[in-house]
Amino acid sequence: MDIKEILKHVDHTLLLQGSTWEEIKQICDDAMKYETASVCIPPCYVKQAAEYMGDRMAVCTVIGFPNGNVTTETKAFETKDALENGASEIDMVINIGWLKDKKYDLVENEIRKLKEICGDKILKVIIETCFLTDEEKIKMCEIVTNAGADYIKTSTGFGGAGATFDDIKLFAEHIGPNVKMKAAGGISSISDAETFLNLGADRLGTSRIVKIVKNEEATGY
């Protein structure tokens, strides 16, 4: 697979707690240069990044991140605020405790509410697979599909483990036809990125792919 094709599927990501504007600006510059799908950045930088890049790059941000256990109203406010500031994609974290308690209606209604707020903007649902059983992952495929979200996403990158090939295979078997998949967390090589895409993932949440390409350019490889 051509590297440019891989980069088209990358949400170029920087979500570390200490991220500065200079670091975010570099993420934006790299995303525009290498033509990634989006930048995925903390909510406090959305307005600045959207103004800096204009219509040259989609801005994605995170809601209820990384734990997912703020109230639905809080997530709703965060989503509205992000969209008003110029975000065009929203990656929300589910309430994992509700899922564990089998409060499926609450989980689904929360996703549905945020999708209503997003309208034609993209909503991705982070289910944090490292904390879930296969049964819970399959249930979330059903819930995400029923709620009308655009993507199911594996991980925050802050939960102790990231995307696995097995999780994407499992998602592919159980999501509805209108739901796409995003693999995120721990994608550290071009080979892994290619495998995730070949398994059916449409987006990859990673910063390392761009770093690898930059390093190869710098060293002549």
Q: What are phi and psi of 42, to 5 degrees?
A: -65, 150
Q: What is this structure's pTM? A: 0.96
Angle at 24 (CA atoms; ends 167, 206), nearest 5 degrees: 15
The structure tokens listed for 3 are 């590297």
Residues involved in catalysis: 91, 153, 182
Per-residue pLDDT, 140: 98
Counting as low any pLDDT under 50, the low residues of the chain are 220-221
Tell me the sheet residues that pair with 183: 204
CA 39/CA 60 separation, integer angstroms: 6
List pLDDT tens digits, range 79-128: 999 999 999 999 999 999 999 999 999 999 999 999 999 999 999 999 99
Per-residue pLDDT, 215: 87
Per-residue pLDDT, 217: 66
At the fourth CATH level, which superfamily is domain 12-215? Answer: Aldolase class I (3.20.20.70)
Per-residue pLDDT, 221: 37
The helix (run of H) or strand (run of E) holding residue 31 is helix 21-34
Look up residue 94 and give its DSSP letter: P
Q: What separation in angstroms does the CA of 152 have from each of 55, 73, 85, 146, 179?
A: 25, 21, 24, 12, 7
List pLDDT tens digits, range 125-140: 999 999 999 999 999 9
Per-residue pLDDT, 219: 59
Per-residue pLDDT, 12: 97
The helix (run of H) or strand (run of E) holding residue 122 is strand 122-126
